[in-house]
Amino acid sequence: MKFVVSPMHIISVGGYIVETYFPYRNIIVVNPTEEPIKIDVPIFSEEWIEVHRKLGLEITLVENDDSFLRAFRKAKIKLDKMKESD
């Protein structure tokens, strides 16, 4: 299955991680480009991270001890600054 991340948008794909031993509990995906980008879901392996970074997406990995809300807000602020500069 694929999702489309709209241009200049942010999403969380933690609910689509299906690997039991995946080292991250959530992944924040930012599309800083002017084009929609398709991403593969569900997420089965760590390879997914590099494959999607090569597409131009900014990937923030949320580990068990990290605050998801803090990481999401930080990524959102960065995206908002990019939007303002356009």
Average pLDDT (38-52) is 94
What are the pLDDT digits (tens) for 6-38? 999 999 999 998 877 889 999 999 999 999 999
Q: Please tell me the total count of domains within the chain.
A: 1
pTM of the predicted model, to two decimals? Answer: 0.93
Range of the domain at 72: 2-85
Q: What DSSP line would sit under 19-73, residue for residue?
A: -TT-S-SEEEEEE-SSS-EEEE-SB-STHHHHHHHTTT-EEEEE-TTS-HHHHHH
